Amino acid sequence: MASTYFASNFHLKSEDSNYMFASPEVNATISTLAKDTIERRVKAYELHKATLEKEASIYDPGLVDLALAAINLVLESKKQESESEPMAQIDPHILTSHLWDWYRVPYTMLRRAVPYLGEPEPHDQIDTWIFRNERWLQQPHSERLPWHRVLVTLEDSDVVFPQSTLTPIARTITRPVLSGFAVLDERRHVEITIQPSTMAFAKRFTYMTDNFLENLDWNNVLVAGGIVLGTLLAVKNPGAPDAFNYITDQWESSDIDIYLYGLSAAQATIKAQSIYNTFKANLLDGTPSFVVKNSKTITFYTRHPLRRVQTILKLGKTPKDILLNFDLDVCAVGWDGNTVWMLPRAACALETGYNVFTMSLIRGHYLTNRRATQPQRLLKYANKGYGLRFLASYSPPDIQKLMDSHTWATKKFREMTSTRGDGYILRHSDLLPHSRNCLTEFTSFMRSVAYWDIAQIKNPRSENFVSYEATYEVQPNAADHSGYLYDKRFSHAGLKTCLNRSNRSDVSTWLETDGLRFRLRHQGVKHGDELEGAQRITFAGSLGILLDSAYDIRFPLLLPLDFVNYANALVKEIPGMGEVTTLVPVMPSSPAAHAGEGLFFWIIPSALMWQQDNRQIDELFEVLLAFRRLNIRPIQSTEDSGATRFIEELSRHESLTSIEEEFSAFGLWVVDVAKEEEVRDW
């Protein structure tokens, strides 16, 4: 019988025997590394958390902090014509000398104080203050102030957008001229319009979300990201209908991203079912629906052009925590059914037209306070009018290197593309020539910037030269629905075919990887049909069906047996998980384990699908992902190379813990740029 995955392709090559995990000793070393990593990280997390909580409990604010907090309480409670009086009573010398060090107060309070400095809006200092304030917001100290006090709302617009004018239909923000180095800003507008009020926002939100969330129980729910930003910006100007259509078209492909907070994993699953029920109830009779799950999201589909509703499988404590994890400043906006919430950096991005660069964009992680971005997302929002700005607080020599590199890269690629004619179309592969993520290398990033700059000259309105699909899936292959677009040709049957093909291709690619054949043959895999149960994407006609164990995510993995025993025992020790097994043999009657390893399905049941519910599970899954990457890029047969490669995979998780580390990491990132002779031959 023909194999589901391979036909006759699955056979040993002579070099395959050189790629085995080599010996029980190598597997024992890697297993020990994996276990030690989990225990070290969990212990470090608990210690860091306890230390911060202790510091918060004994934190002794200074008199100035207490005075400012008291003033802010007055301002928040009265909101009347005399609200500026408390600020006017502060000695101007104190404001001038200390204002920028008061980063433990709400952003709205800072912006109320700035006019009393008697000088133009100091945006460089505001950006730096926001950077320090966000570091504080990530700490338990900040919880002394309720989360809703440290965020910005749409009703704060008069304060946070001082250079704006308000009419019944829109608020117009005039953007400042900024100094310093910036890229990807060819489409930045000198002024924008946003919704004039929360009421106007709510009306537009209902329209832009196809009424899917009508009658939703909004408790513990935050819709955040692109759809909220798009709603905020989708202001209809009666004098420019085409411009309005262009604005709404920019957000045509935005999903409705739903985040849950303040819930346990079990409660979140019940809430997700409630959201699905609301979604179904709001569909017109006869409208089909379809549900897709991967390891990061559950997505509800209907038919094009109706929006997809996507529940992010990551829990937060509060809306503040959800917004803090957003990569790009301008995306850190949310809607809870009553209020538009923004981080200070989101309000600043709207005001200036720039996302501010930090090393979190490169080194961030979903288990840290702020996740890293993807090159596609930077370019996507550049096309929407938001550039990338580098703070002056980074060292001047580094900024000069950035400017030199940008000038050189743009000149280089003008020369390259000038020989290809005006009809040449820039492709995603052109932008990311050496790596799937050009942000890992500064020279590759500047190449992408230069290409984007040239594209604006060749076709200023084009948005199709780069793929925008930002996937939450961590699998190193393409996006789940790669090759099947959500457009007028979309159908559920076509999507099912694409997803099935993607699952088969995922396994086929894994099995065809050089070095795995030898190891898999020793595990009893003959044709590939043995792995037919593997599925990194599952789908069903309803969420209730999709949550059944038959639809659990299953990744095939070659793992050290000792680590498998450790991992399954770790899961069972967690309260409520006594019956859960996450690593299951692919073939229960498989031959004796070879070299101390076995072939397993890593299963993610509904009980374990929510991230940030249990730190041990999160860290275990991080290590399993490292094993998965190691399987796809097998190591040679020496113990040193095996351990080194595994350490490299595990190190992706490490984060920056201080402002000093931030600046040091930035310096290392740009240290080799700007000289043509230092750059690879393209």
For 39-92, the pLDDT digits (tens) are 999 998 888 788 777 776 666 566 556 665 665 555 555 554 444 556 666 777
What distances in angstroms separate CA 546 from CA 479, 550, 612, one per listed residue? 20, 8, 21
Residue 535: DSSP 8-state: B
pLDDT for residue 17:
41
Are residue 33 and residue 124 in the same domain, yes or no?
A: no
Are residue 70 and residue 47 in the same domain, yes or no?
A: no
656 belongs to a structural domain: no
What is the C-alpha to C-alpha distance for residues 232 and 222, in angstroms, rounded to an integer? Answer: 15
Are residue 43 and residue 144 in the same domain, yes or no?
A: no
Out of 387, 413, 441, a domain closes at 387
Are residue 121 and residue 235 in the same domain, yes or no?
A: yes
pLDDT for residue 241:
55
Are residue 47 and residue 100 in the same domain, yes or no?
A: no
Are residue 29 and residue 140 in the same domain, yes or no?
A: no
> What range does the domain containing 557 cover?
14-52+504-637
130 belongs to a structural domain: yes
Residue 579 token pair = 């019956």
Residue 668 token pair = 């290392």
Are residue 247 and residue 178 in the same domain, yes or no?
A: yes
What is the C-alpha to C-alpha distance for residues 82 and 80, in angstroms, rounded to an integer? Answer: 5
475 belongs to a structural domain: no
Contacts of 129 (CB under 8 A, 6+ apart): 100, 103, 110
677 belongs to a structural domain: no
pLDDT for residue 423:
39
Q: What is the DSSP string of 497-514?
A: HHHHHHHHHHHHHHHHST
pLDDT for residue 64:
56
pLDDT for residue 33:
92
437 belongs to a structural domain: no
605 belongs to a structural domain: yes
What distances in angstroms separate CA 611 from CA 10, 296, 534, 571, one per listed residue? 36, 8, 21, 14
Domain count within the chain: 2
Are residue 326 and residue 206 in the same domain, yes or no?
A: yes
Report residues of the chain scoring pLDDT below 50: 1-21, 80-83, 413, 416-435, 463-482, 637-640, 672-682
Are residue 28 and residue 139 in the same domain, yes or no?
A: no
How far is C-alpha 622 from the chain's CA centre? 16
pLDDT for residue 589:
66
Out of 387, 412, 446, a domain closes at 387
Question: Sign of the C-alpha dihedral, residues 580, 582, 583, 588?
Answer: positive
259 belongs to a structural domain: yes
E strands, 102-195, are 152-153, 164-166, 171-174, 181-183, 191-194
CB 331 within 8 A of CB 226: yes
653 belongs to a structural domain: no
By CB atoms closer than 10 A (0-12, 13-18, 19+), residue 526 is exposed
Which H or E run contains 539?
Answer: strand 538-540
Are residue 261 and residue 151 in the same domain, yes or no?
A: yes
What distances in angstroms separate CA 150 from CA 49, 58, 69, 161, 320, one per listed residue? 21, 21, 11, 17, 8
Are residue 355 and residue 238 in the same domain, yes or no?
A: yes
Out of 387, 416, 443, a domain closes at 387
Are residue 184 and residue 244 in the same domain, yes or no?
A: yes
